A and B are shown apart, each in its own frame.
Chain A
Amino acid sequence: MIGALLSYGAFFMTTALIYAIVCLGLNVQWGQTGLFNVGVAGFVAIGAYVSALLTTPAAPGRFAGFDLPIAIGWLGGAVIAGLLSFLLGALTIRLRADYLAIATFGAAVVIHLCMLNLQSLTGGPFGIGFIPRPFASYAGEPLEFGFLNLALLAGVVLMLYLSLERLLRSPWGRVLRAIREDEAAALALGKNSIRFRLQAFAVGGAIMGLAGAAQAHFIGFIAPDNYQPTLTFQVWAMLIVGGSGNNRGAVLGAIVVWAVWAISGGAIAAIFPAGEQARAASLQIVLIGLALCAILLWRPRGILGEVKIVSRHLAGLSAQRAQPSFAVKDERLDGEKT
């Protein structure tokens, strides 16, 4: 009994930490740089599929299967996802802020389509199975297996967290924030400002790809249905709840929202009859959607908020502000200077 509980606990935490990695990636894009990615699920999927293709053994009827070590798979997943982010960013970053959102949304749609249709590469709707799992030799001992995986993921999250914190305080991170906070600084940097934001977008995408790869190897099989817009939405809710711009908030938000998700899923399973479960699951998303909107309205800084380096992220995101005549247009740049 206790053993089952413990191994469920390990499973729960491992899943939450995978989400935490996605959140950290999104935080680089949104929290640090103010770039809105509506295709998170697509980048996670790329990481998962690339890593799966690199590490699974060759199979008849399928194009890939290179039987490479897991670490190479993770790396490959991150690199390809980062590359794709770079290309999308290069296409849209100098345009209006929401074109990037639309483009990432479209990319996720197309990635999903590719997963479904490129049968010989992706296995189509059934996906890819028998993805090698880390510590597979312990698979017979659920408890040890669970905690070894948890330890691995915790290690990855810790390393990512430390390097991102370092990056955040490096000259590169300071420039990013300057660009996000202050249009004058962004203008002064000119073309470089686009380059910096593009780098951040690619780094964030690569981290999401890494998370996808980690998840694929943890679960052992992947299918297109795992990468629906709901995933994007969950990750967004996690980052917003935790506090965008704050790496600890990203990790905390992932754990809190995943807990709420798991508990509400359990409650729905307990309350609704078996026939109505699928229907009731949509209610879960409705509630989380309302929560996201409520947080945006009433507590836009999330639980932890942004660390002091930044003054007014949500209120002063560069030049593109909401409808000027509702809230008065900011004319400090062309008006009188005090």
Chain B
Amino acid sequence: MTAQALETRALVAGYERDLPIVRGVDLNVRAGEFVVLLGPNGAGKSTLVKAIAGLVPIHAGAVLINGEDSTFSPPHQKIRRGLAFVPQTENVFATLTIEENLRLAADILPNNVRARRIDELYAMFPDLAARPGRRAGQLSGGQRQMLAAARALIVAPSLLILDEPSAGLSPKIAAEVFARLQAINATGVTIVLVEQNVKAALAVASRAVILVEGEARHEGSAAELADDPIVAELYLGAAKAGA
């Protein structure tokens, strides 16, 4: 099957029209792939995925989700086309309980499957099932990420995009997050991951795209890039320039 889960065509996006952060990115993600977006700070990775999700204005180009043109669709329509997006921060509703966070997301599902999906997610994340009445604002960092992932997964998306899910987590919990992502990918969900943690990301991803200055500069299988000096150089170079 050659179906495209996600495609961007010459995408130009950014908060201000005259100062785009993403400058003409072509991205092709096949169904079932696990793609990681790498690049130095300020390369536009985060802005790119936010634009795809509908959170950052798009000034030119196109976004296709599962083959459907979604360039100017509001986020709630993109969700109904199979996209799920987990932002890096503020990714749960702190004033809502765990249960309410999940039910909110499940509300777009048909009546008869809602309760079942919530139970399935609780089975997947037993930590959350333990105290469903707890406000999300009281959860630890790791628990929040779990809730954010559960909230995104509840609608059984075909395409899951995550913005640095490991940020701020301890290495042990981060490893757990990556393992879970791999497991989710194994069930057929396409994953696009923005990550700073290059080694860990390349270990789980099938392919990597490297963004520099708002453009997709390099692309290759995760295995190839893991040993490529260009990766190390990019990050080191950026660290020097950005300091």
Contacts and interface: CB of A to CB of B under 8 A. Distances in A.
Q: Do chains A and B touch in the complex (CB under 8 A)?
A: yes
Contact of A336 (B46, B55, B74, B75): B46
A338 B74 CA distance: 25
B42 A338 contact: yes
B45 interface: yes
Contacts of B46: 335-336
B221 interface: no
Given A328-B56, A328-B57, A329-B55, A336 B44 contact: yes
Contact of B47 (A325, A334, A336): A336
A191 interface: no
A247 B19 CA distance: 31
B15 A337 contact: no
B21 A338 contact: yes
Contacts of A325: 55, 74-75
B42 A336 contact: yes
A332 interface: yes
A2 B194 CA distance: 78
Contacts of A338: 19, 21, 42, 44, 214
Nearest to B74: A325
Nearest to A335: B46
B75 A337 contact: no
A328 B55 contact: yes
A334 B89 contact: yes
A182 interface: no
A144 interface: no
Interface size class of A (residues with CB under 8 A): 10 to 19
Contacts of B143: none
A227 to B, nearest CB: 42
Given A328-B55, A328-B57, A336 B15 contact: no
Interface in A298-338: 325, 328-332, 334-338
A334 to B, nearest CB: 7
Nearest to A337: B42
Secondary structure call for the A interface = loop
A184 to B, nearest CB: 15
Nearest to B213: A338
Interface string A230-260: 0000000000000000000000000000000
A336 B56 contact: no
B97 interface: no
Contacts of B57: 328
Contacts of B43: 336
A332 B45 CA distance: 14
A335 B47 CA distance: 8
A334 B87 CA distance: 12
B196 to A, nearest CB: 11
Contacts of B74: 325
Given A328-B15, A329-B55, A336 B89 contact: no
B206 interface: no
Most buried by B among A329, A330, A336, A337: A336
Contacts of B55: 325, 328-329
B41 interface: yes
Interface in B33-88: 41-47, 50, 55-57, 74-75
A336 B44 CA distance: 7
Contact of A330 (B15, B42, B47, B214): B15
A328 B42 CA distance: 19
A38 to B, nearest CB: 30
Task: Give the most central of A329, A331, A332, A337: most B CB within 10 Å.
Answer: A331
Interface string A84-108: 0000000000000000000000000
A163 B214 CA distance: 47
Contacts of B42: 336-338
Nearest to A315: B16
Contacts of B44: 336, 338
A73 B42 CA distance: 59
A333 to B, nearest CB: 11
29 contacts: A325-B55, A325-B74, A325-B75, A328-B15, A328-B55, A328-B56, A328-B57, A330-B15, A331-B15, A332-B15, A334-B89, A335-B46, A335-B47, A335-B50, A336-B21, A336-B41, A336-B42, A336-B43, A336-B44, A336-B45, A336-B46, A336-B47, A337-B41, A337-B42, A338-B19, A338-B21, A338-B42, A338-B44, A338-B214
Interface of A: 325, 328-332, 334-338
Which 5 A-B residue pairs are closest in the complex by CB-CB distance? A336-B46, A338-B42, A336-B42, A337-B42, A328-B57
Given A336-B44, A338-B44, 7 more contacts: A325-B55, A332-B15, A335-B46, A335-B47, A335-B50, A336-B46, A338-B19
Interface of B: 15, 19, 21, 41-47, 50, 55-57, 74-75, 89, 214
